A and B are shown apart, each in its own frame.
Chain A
C-alpha cells in the first residue's frame, strides 16, 4: 500500500461485504429451508429466520437417501481418483524426464495430446469403453486369429473371458477420470526445475533410479503433491456427470447423485427442506478442505496454470 485513502478504503470494504453477502446468501437460505418443516417451507413470504428442525431434517435426509452407503462410495471414488492419478502421473512424469529411451518423445506427445480433450466432449464413446472394456482386446485377438487358435487347441473361450463390464463398479467411476494427463504434465514441469546436481550426486553414491525417485524426488515434490491432492479431492468429490451415467444401481451412486435424487420434481411434494438439509452434508467435506487448507490450495491452483 502506497498511501491511504479513507474514502477508497470504505468503498472497498463495502464492495467486499456485498460480495461476501452474495456468496453467503444461497447458503443461508438453504440453511433456513433445511431447518423448517415441509409445511413451513411452502409459506409466503418465506421466513427469514431458521426454524428448529435442522437436525431432524438432516437425519431424515440421510436415511431417506441411503447416504450411509453413498457417502462411502463417494469417499472410495474420491480417494481412488486422488491416489490413482497422483501415482500414475508421478511415475509417468519421472519416466519422461529422467530416462533416455527410444520413443520417449512419442510417449510424451501421446500424453500431451490427452490434455486437449475434456471428458465432457467424449461422454458416449467413453461410456461404451467402460461398458465393454474388453471389447478392443476381443476385436484385436479376433483379427489376429488368436481367439480361434486358443479355442481350437484348448477349448478355452477367450471372448467370454474378455467381457469386462465396468458399469456400476468403482473402476468405472475412477479410471476414466484419471485418464487425463494434466497431473503428469504438471510433475514433468516441476521435475525439469529440480537441479541436475541432485541426480548426479545420487548416481555417484550408487543409488538406482527407483531409490533416487523415492528418496530424493518424492520428498522434493511434497508441496506440489499436497496442492494437487486438494484440487483432485475437490474434483473427485464434486463429479456429477460420470456417476450419473455410470451408476444405474442406487447402491453404487455417489453422494452427489443422492442429493440430485432428493430435489423435488414438479408433481411431487415440495420437500425442499429435506433436499437443502442434505446439500449441507454433501458439500461439507470439500468446504472443510478449502477452509482448512486455503493457503496450500490457492498457491497450488495458481502455480498449476504456469
Chain B
C-alpha cells in the first residue's frame, strides 16, 4: 500500500471527514443501505419521510422538473408566439455548433475564464504570501482585503463601470491623458478587459481566504527544518508552502472556473450587457439573451444543456479536489 493511502486511511480512522460513497453499487440505491447511516439510529420511516418531504418537494418543483424541461426543450423548436412545438432531434445543437456567434461566445468565455482564474490566483497568492510573512496589522489587512466578498457582482460591476466610464470615469480620464483611446462602449477589447478587472477585483478575496488558511496550516516544524537547512523565506515558499497547498490551489482553480462561467452574470449585465458587438456575451449571458430577449427557446435550452454538462464536469472535479486535500497531511 502506498504511503499516501496509509495516511488517508489513518485519517479516516480518526473520523475527521467521512468520504462520499461515490462508487456504490446500484442496488444500494433501493435497499436500506448502511452507507452514511449513524450506528445509533431511529426506525421511524414515516417521520423520516415527513422530515425529507420539504426538501424533496422543493427539489422536485424547482430542480428536477425545470431540468427535465430544459432537456426536452433542447430537442424541439418552439415558435415564440404560439404554443406549437416540433421535434427536431439534435438540430438545435448542430445549428449552435455551426454558428460563428456561438463559437465566438465560447472562445471569449474561455479567454475570460482563464485570464480571470490566473489573475485572481496570482494576486491572491501574492497577498496571502505577504500576509503569512508580516507580524503587525494582519487583522486589519485581512479585514480590508475580505471586504469585496460582501459586495455583489452586480455592485462590483457598477463601481468599475463608473471608474472606467469614458466620459465621467476618473480612471478613464487618466487613461485618456496618457494617450489611450479607452472606450469600453465601442472597443470590444476594452469592454472585455473592464469586465475581467471587475470580476477579478470581486473574487480575489475568496482565493485569499483559502490560501491564507492553507499557508497557515503548513506545520511550523517543517518550516523550521527548512530554515535550519538554510532555505530563505522566498525559497521556502516555492519549495515547501506552495506544494503543500497544491490541493487547495487545485480546488481554487476549479472554483474560479465555476465563478467565471456562472456567477459573473451580474457584472456583465451592469457593465456591458454583452456588448459591444457581442464581445462580452459569455455563454451564460447568451442563454439569457437568446431565451428572454430573442425568445428563441429551443436554442436557449440547447445552450442550457451544454452548460449543464460543463457544470456537472466541474462538480466532479470539485469533489475530486476536495478528496485530494487529505494527501498532504503530516
Name A residues whose Cβ lies closer than 8 Å to a Cβ of B. 1-3, 5, 8-9, 11-13, 15-16, 19-20, 22-27, 29-30, 33, 41-42, 44-46, 87-89, 91-92, 94-111, 114-118, 120-130, 133, 136, 175-176, 178-181, 184, 188-189, 191-194, 196-197, 199-200, 203, 208-210, 234, 237-241, 244-245, 256, 259-260, 263, 266, 270, 272, 275-276, 279, 282-283, 286-287, 289-291, 294, 298, 301-302, 305-306
> Chain A's interface: helix, strand, loop or mixed, by majority?
helix
Q: Is the CB of A263 within 8 A of B158?
A: yes
Partner of B133, one of A9, A89, A111, A260: A9
What CA separation (Å) do A264 and B276 show in the bound complex?
Answer: 17
B163 contacts A by Cβ under 8 Å:
yes
Q: Is B304 an interface residue (CB 8 A)?
A: yes
**Proximity string of chain B (137-159) to chain A, C-beta cutoff 8 Å, 1 when within and 0 when not:** 10001111111111111111011
| A108-B36 contact given A92-B51, A99-B42, CB 8 Å threshold | yes
Q: Which residues of B contact A294 (CB under 8 A)?
A: 142-143, 146
User: How far apart are A120's CB and chain B's nearest CB, in angstroms?
Assistant: 4
Q: Give the distance to chain B from A163, nearest Cβ to Cβ, in Å.
A: 15
* CA of A178 to CA of B56, assembled, Å: 11
Tell me whether A175 and B149 are in contact (CB under 8 A).
no
Q: Which residue of A lies closest to B47 (CB)?
A: A209
Given A101-B32, A104-B33, verify A123-B287 contact (CB < 8 Å).
yes
Q: Would A263 and B308 count as touching, CB distance under 8 A?
A: no
Which chain B residues lie closer than 8 Å to A89 at the CB level?
55
Q: Is the CB of A41 within 8 A of B168?
A: yes
Q: With a CB–CB cut-off of 8 A, which chain B residues contact A287?
A: 147, 150-151
Contact A136 B61 (CB under 8 A): yes
Contact status of A200 and B40, CB under 8 A, knowing A120-B263, A260-B270 = yes
Chain A residues with CB under 8 A of B311: 116-118, 121
List the B residue with the shortest CB-CB distance to A97. B38
Residues of A within 8 A of B292 (CB): 124, 127, 245
A240 and B322: CB pair below 8 A? no
Chain B contacts with A in 39-75, Cβ cutoff 8 A: 39-45, 47-49, 51-52, 54-56, 58-59, 61-70, 73
**Which one of B59, B150, B232, B308 has the highest number of Cβ atoms from chain A below 10 Å of its Cβ?**
B150
Give the A-binding residues of B (Cβ under 8 A).
15-18, 24, 28-33, 35-45, 47-49, 51-52, 54-56, 58-59, 61-70, 73, 123, 126-127, 129-131, 133-135, 137, 141-156, 158-163, 165, 167-171, 173, 177, 185, 201, 206, 209-210, 213, 220, 223-224, 227, 232-234, 251, 258, 262-263, 265-266, 269-270, 284, 287-288, 291-292, 297, 300-301, 304, 307-308, 311-312, 315, 322, 325
Chain A nearest CB: distance from B22 CB in Å? Answer: 10
If A16-B134, A122-B304 touch, does A30 touch B159 (CB 8 Å cutoff)?
yes
Q: Tell whether, in the assembled complex, residue A181 and residue B55 are in contact, meaning their CB atoms are under 8 Å apart.
A: yes
Q: A46-B170, A305-B210 are in contact. Are A100 and B31 (CB under 8 A)?
A: no
* Known contacts A15-B126, A291-B143: A279-B155 contact under CB 8 Å: yes
**Are B150 and A283 neighbours in the complex by a CB distance under 8 Å?**
yes
Known: A19-B130, A92-B52, A117-B312. 14 other contacts (CB 8 A): A3-B227, A15-B127, A23-B148, A46-B168, A89-B55, A92-B56, A95-B51, A99-B47, A104-B37, A122-B70, A122-B304, A124-B304, A193-B18, A263-B270
CB-CB under 8 A from A1, the residues of chain B are 133, 135
Known contacts A106-B29, A123-B287; A8 and B233 CB within 8 A of each other: yes
The answer to whether A290 and B223 touch across the interface, beta carbons within 8 angstroms, is no
Q: Are A275 and B158 in contact (CB under 8 A)?
A: yes
Q: A97-B37, A99-B44, A282-B155 are in contact. Are A91 and B146 (CB under 8 A)?
A: no
User: Which residues of B are found within 8 Å of A46, using beta-carbon distances?
Assistant: 168-170, 173
Cβ-defined contact, B33 with A128, below 8 A: no
* CB-CB under 8 A for A283 and B152, given A8-B233, A13-B134, A95-B51: yes
Determine if B18 and A259 form an interchain contact, defined as CB atoms under 8 angstroms apart: no
A residues in contact with B150, CB < 8 Å: 234, 283, 286-287, 289-290
Main secondary structure of the interface of B (DSSP, over half): helix
Q: How many A-B residue pairs have CB under 8 A?
A: 345
Q: Which residues of B contact A45 (CB under 8 A)?
A: 170, 173, 177
Whether the pair B54, A88 counts as a contact (CB closer than 8 A) is: yes
Given A23-B148, A118-B311, A279–B30 Cβ distance below 8 Å?
no
Closest 8 CB pairs of A and B: A238-B152, A179-B62, A125-B66, A99-B48, A46-B170, A101-B45, A92-B55, A12-B130
Kindly identify which residue among A9, A94, A106, A189 contacts B51, using a CB–CB cutoff of 8 Å: A94
Least Cβ–Cβ distance between B181 and chain A, in angstroms? 16
Contact A120 to B284, CB < 8 A, known contacts A5-B233, A111-B59, A189-B18: yes
Which one of A120, A176, A180 lies within 8 Å of B262 (CB-CB)? Answer: A120
Q: Are B58 and A175 in contact (CB under 8 A)?
A: yes
Partner of A121, one of B55, B223, B308: B308
- The answer to whether A15 touches B130 (Cβ under 8 A) is yes
What would be 25 A-B contacts, judged by CB atoms less than 8 Å apart?
A3-B227, A8-B233, A19-B141, A20-B144, A92-B52, A92-B54, A94-B51, A95-B52, A96-B52, A98-B37, A118-B311, A121-B304, A124-B291, A124-B292, A124-B297, A126-B62, A127-B292, A128-B69, A129-B62, A199-B38, A199-B40, A240-B269, A244-B269, A283-B152, A294-B142
A214 to B112, CA, bound (A): 47
Alpha-carbon separation in the docked complex, A189 to B185 (Å): 48
- Residues on A with C-beta less than 8 A from B266 are 240-241
B155 to chain A, nearest CB (A): 5
With A and B bound together, what is the CA distance between A241 and B285 in angstroms? 10
Residue from B15, B297, B308 in contact with A122 in the complex, judged by beta carbons closer than 8 Å: B308
Partner of A209, one of B44, B129, B251: B44
Contact A136 B47 (CB under 8 A): no
